[in-house]
Amino acid sequence: MTVSINEKGCLNAPGILHAPRPAIEHGALTTIKGIIVHQTDSDTAAATLNGYMNAGANGAHFLIDRGGTIYQVASLKKQTWHVGKLRSRCFAPHTCSPAELVIQKKNEFRPNIVNKLEMRKTVPHRYPSNNDSIGIEIVGRCILPRHLDKAGLSKGERERLRGEKAVFEPVNIAQQASLQRLIATLSMLLQVPSSEIFRHPEVSRKNPAEAGTAAW
């Protein structure tokens, strides 16, 4: 089988099941600069696939089930809103100019402003965004440690703790193998360098444990 991407943005490759979910497609994706790896915070692929059918749903282009099955759910010619507000890329390698460092530090806790500043740049000077990246979701639950999951927590407090302290399930062997195969194929076809493949928390303000055990 020849590995390719057809005119509809479908990846034709061994082991890829097509399960279109048009509700998560949000406009044209005309250039692809990166790949972002996520976890779903769900128990099953079926639950996530069903959620992708809701009006206004967000999701990623691919979903990897617990057994390693890979579903393509969005066209590679369409954006999905899988990234969120970008972090400042120059912080991690300490490459911000003095002037930019002042601006970024001033707005460190103002994600809307940081994202706006970042989106004035292009990859690789910023992280890949919804506008120019492919998203891969891996089925895995996000679990709040028992000592923090106390009765009487408000919904807001529970969500805050989940975002900061919850731990995602480890990516299993079958999922790792499928992720590695999928990323290798996409990287080859789309000419995405390894330097532009990230876990979600690296590029956006997400739970730091998300996709923390994913490897490629």
β partners of residue 140: none
- Please identify, among 126, 155, 189, the residue that sits at the C-terminal boundary of a domain: 126
Whether residue 118 sits in one domain with residue 166 = no
**In terms of pLDDT, which residue wins out, 158 or 207?**
207
User: Can you tell me the distance from the alpha carbon of 185 to that of 197, in angstroms, rounded to the nearest whole number?
Assistant: 13
Q: What are the CA-CA distances from residue 118 to residues 22, 96, 99, 203 (Å)?
A: 28, 12, 14, 11
- Please identify, among 105, 126, 147, the residue that sits at the C-terminal boundary of a domain: 126
Pairing mode, if any, of strands 70-72 and 142-143?
unpaired
User: Can you tell me the distance from the alpha carbon of 129 to that of 137, in angstroms, rounded to the nearest whole number?
Assistant: 15
**Assigned domain for 9 exists:** yes
Whether residue 94 sits in one domain with residue 76 = no
**Assigned domain for 205 exists:** no
Q: pTM for this one? A: 0.90
CA angle 38–39–43, rounded 5-degree value: 160
Whether residue 119 sits in one domain with residue 18 = no
Whether residue 122 sits in one domain with residue 33 = no
Domain CATH code at residue 151: 3.40.80.10
Reported as a single tens digit per residue, the pLDDT across 61-71 is: 999 999 999 99
pLDDT of 39 > 70? The answer is yes
Q: Is 12 strand, coil or helix?
A: strand
- Residue 77, phi then psi, degrees to nearest 5: -105, 10
The lowest-confidence range among 16-20, 91-95, 111-115, 151-155 is 151-155
Domain residue limits at 78: 4-83+133-198
Whether residue 149 sits in one domain with residue 54 = yes
Task: Please give the tally of structural domains in the chain.
Answer: 2
Whether residue 172 sits in one domain with residue 101 = no
Whether residue 192 sits in one domain with residue 109 = no
Whether residue 121 sits in one domain with residue 18 = no
Rounded to whole angstroms, the maximal C-alpha distance in the chain is 56
Whether residue 147 sits in one domain with residue 68 = yes
Whether residue 192 sits in one domain with residue 142 = yes
State the pLDDT at residue 166.
78
